[in-house]
Structure formats: structure tokens, C-alpha cells
Structure 1
Amino acid sequence: YLPEFPDRFSSLVHARQFLDEFVHAYNHHHRHSGIGMHTPADVHYGLADMVDRDRDATLDAARRAHPERFGTRAQARPKILEREPAAWINPPSVDEIELAA
């Protein structure tokens, strides 16, 4: 699911290019079980709650459209792990947070 590390990098430029792509994929595309199947970017920027609401709406629509695909616990929401609403090493200013939203 992530770019695969080569055995060797052909140059410093190649290594930097690969790591740029790897870090981007890890932070923006790879979903982590430890943070409720969110990307680190979703949690970092405080978008995880919105993603959870979108997931719930999609799942509810699927249940209504195809109830036969769901068991007797059709209304049970998949378990989402507890997490902080946003994660920071160095919190940005309020202005920066508003710009990100």
C-alpha cells in the first residue's frame, strides 16, 4: 500500500524524490488502525470527525440500499478507537488552523 523501498538509490536526488513520495503516501493515503483507520493528516488537521461522519452516512446509505448484505447487527457502528481530535508536535497558531480548515 506504500511505495516499496528500492535496494539502493541511484543518487541523492533519487533518494530525496523517493522519500518525498513515501512520506506523502504515509501521511495522506495510508490508513492506520491505531488512529481509527484515519490518515495521520486527517488526525493532524482535525478532519477525522468529518471523515467519521462521511463514513457513517455512506454506511447508512449502503444499509438502506442493500439490507440483505448486513447481519442482524445492521445498526451497529464499526468500532472506532478513541483518539484525540487533532495531534500536534508544535501546535500552530489559531490563524494557521483556520487556514487549514
Structure 2
Amino acid sequence: MTGSHSRPRVSNDNPFSESQFKTTKYQPDYPGRFKSVSHARQWFESYVDWYNFEHHHSGLAGFTPEQVFTGRYQELAVTRQQALDSWYQANPERFVCGRPIAHMPPTSVATNPISPEEAKLGVPSAVNFPTLARAKHTARETTLILE
């Protein structure tokens, strides 16, 4: 794997997986080392269930992945907003920035979205740019062949 200091459409870089690994390793019951393959499978099975159905993600505005995937987050957001509204009506002086709003998860997520400028230039969204080190190596080989 070639190192990269930037992430523009680099195929060997996955920040979502890196984030997942950190969440996994910081679990209080993460064993560090597993006794066997079956022990690892058993632990990860319960971990994945917890992660998808119980863990409220900050990147999803406090909803679980299951709630966002199934669309249940919309009715839960209405309930949250009703609770915030009732708290605000009971004690408006506590909310110095005004009426609180229940946050919603993002509508789309991308590691390296195509900017409007790139779209105008016709940059396809599935472009796989090489890493800097590989690009330099390829340029050097091309120069040697041409000479």
C-alpha cells in the first residue's frame, strides 16, 4: 500500500473504516487479543449489533444507523423537537440562543465530493487518482522511456 497525504479519490484509503476501527478499539469490553477465531466472531457479532441498533452516532445527529436506514429517525426527530419545544416554553430564559432545533442526520456523505468547479471541467466521480509517490514513479519511468 502506498502512503498518501491527501485523500482525493484515492482507492486505498477509507476514512470511514479507520473511524470504525477506532470505535471498536475504544469499546470498554474490547479484549485486545482474542482467544480464538470463534471468540473473535462471537465478540464482533455482538459488537456489530450494538453498533447498528443501540449506539447513537454523533455523525448521525444522535440516531442509530438502523433508525436512519429504515427512516424511523424522522418520527423520532419529531418527538425530540416536541420535547425541546416544551422545555423551551417552560423555561425560555435558559435558551439564550433562542428556540432549540432538533438536528437531522446528513442527507449524503462523501469522502471526496466533486466540487462544482471540477464538475464543470468534466471530472468523473469514479476517477481513481494515484498517490503522489506512484505518480512521481510513473512520471520518472515515462521520462526514461521517451529519452
TM-score category by the smaller chain? 0.5 to 0.7
Matches within 5 A, 1:4-83: 4-73=29-98, 75-83=99-107
CA distance in 1, matches of 2:35, 2:106: 43
Q: CA deviation at 1:30?
A: 2.0
C-alpha change, 1:8 and 1:61, in structure 2 (3 Å) is same
C-alpha change, 1:24 and 1:41, in structure 2 (3 Å) is same
Percent identity between matched residues is 35
Number of residue pairs the alignment of both structures matches: 83
Q: Does structure 1 retain, via aligned residues, the 8 Å contact 2:55–2:64?
A: yes
C-alpha change, 1:54 and 1:2, in structure 2 (3 Å) is farther
Rg larger in structure: 2
**Unaligned 5+ residue runs, structure 1?**
85-101
Q: Does structure 1 retain, via aligned residues, the 8 Å contact 2:88–2:100?
A: no
Paired residue for 2:131? none
Q: Does structure 2 retain, via aligned residues, the 8 Å contact 1:30–1:39?
A: yes
CA distance in 1, matches of 2:44, 2:65: 17
Q: Report the RMSD for the aligned CA atoms in angstroms.
A: 2.4
- The TM-score with structure 2 as length reference comes to 0.47
21-30 or 2-11: bigger deviation: 2-11
53-62 or 63-72: bigger deviation: 63-72
State the SS of the aligned residue for 1:15: helix
**Unaligned 5+ residue runs, structure 2?**
1-25, 109-147
- Report the AA paired with residue 45 of structure 2: D
Paired residue for 2:10? none
The structure, 1 or 2, with the larger RCO (C-alpha pairs under 8 Å, 6+ apart) is 2
C-alpha change, 1:71 and 1:26, in structure 2 (3 Å) is same
CA distance in 2, matches of 1:30, 1:36: 12
